[in-house]
Amino acid sequence: MPGPKKFWSPGRKEALIGWLFLLPEVVGMLLLNVFALLFSLYLSFSSWDLLSGLSGIKFSGLDNYIKLFQDEAIVKALMNNLLFTLLTVPVSIAIALVLAVIIHSKVYFKDYFKVVFFMPYISSIIAIAAVWSALLHPSLGPINQFLMDIGIDNPPRWLVDPKTSLLSIAIISIWAGIGYTIIIYLAGLTNISEELYEAAEIDGATSMQKFMKITTPMLRPTTFFLFITMLIGSFKVFDIIAFLTEGGPHNSSTVLVFRIYEEGFRDYNMGYASAISWLLFAIIGLITAATWKMRKDDTV
């Protein structure tokens, strides 16, 4: 008759060893992510000057959230965020899709063009912003010099004009990130069977019909992935704005993340900065959830 099973069987010992190896990562995740998340949520209901230390935290209820909807700078930043998203996400996806199809089917030296388009994405965004700042200089920049040479007497002032500052940043962001989008689309195009295109050609389909009826529907999962990631990225934009315009002129290019930086690390108002962070989190969550719901309904 076999004896009672030992609790520490070889399988359980192996599992314990695995968890011990994972323990530092789990502890680090709890401290750096979960604790920070919960602490910021608590701070969003508090008033805290960062310089006063932890003893300066004072519970203030919903004051920070009430202030959010009365703060014109926050409303302006939110509108800029939405406009920046509309300027960058659909345009980037459309341009990248067209370029990816052209590179995939019509261009020699495909690997060369992949590298050329991808280089800005892996370059420092600050270095890219510095180059574009020189290019878009209102009086000495080569772009405006060219526009004046062809007869445009008053070219745009780009980054220093409230009317064009956000548009200028959107153009730079599209240029800097389009290489990644093209690479993802090229990966998706390789998974489309050539037999589908051959069958369409036999049926007399034109290039545009093949693009609309085969390429676009087959790339729908890729487009959805890019849309979600770029949507979230557009609401998190900060570094390029901080370097080029610092939210100006006259808050024309300020966004929510930049307002979080200003409130938290310039004015040391961490409670209000945390409330803005949670507002941003809620907006991204709602938009993402709505997009997933539309995607789910589309696939049913």
Where in the chain are the domains? Answer: 65-299
| Rounded CA separation 193/298 (Å) | 23
Residue whose C-alpha is closest to residue 86's, from 170, 196, 202: 170
Task: Give residue-wise pLDDT tens across range 153-182.
Answer: 889 999 999 999 999 999 999 999 999 999
- What separation, in Å, do the N-terminal and C-terminal C-alpha atoms of the chain show? 57
- pLDDT at residue 260, rounded to an integer: 92
Return the CATH number of the domain spanning residue range 65-299. Answer: 1.10.3720.10
pLDDT(207) > 70: yes
- pLDDT at residue 272, rounded to an integer: 92
- pLDDT at residue 2, rounded to an integer: 54
| Rounded CA separation 252/33 (Å) | 32
- Gyration radius of the chain's alpha carbons: 25
Residue found by looking up tokens 């261009």 in the block: 107
% of the chain beyond a pLDDT of 70: 95
Q: Which comes out higher in pLDDT, residue 22 or 165?
A: 165
pLDDT band at 86 (very low <50, low <70, confident <90, very high): very high
Return the structure tokens found at 90. 């659909």
